[in-house]
Amino acid sequence: MTQRMTTGALQPDGHMRPEPRMDVRCVSDAVLYMSGLPLEANVQFMTVMATDMPFIGRG
* Number of domains present in the structure of the chain: 1
Q: What is the pLDDT of residue 58?
A: 56
Domain that holds residue 26: 3-35
Residue 49's pLDDT is what? 86
Asked if residue 41 is part of any domain, the answer here is no
Q: Is residue 44 part of a domain?
A: no
**Cβ(9)–Cβ(16) under 8 Å?**
yes
Q: What is the reported pLDDT for 50?
A: 86
pLDDT digits (tens, 9 = 90+) for 4-57: 888 888 888 898 988 888 999 999 999 999 999 999 999 999 988 888 877 765
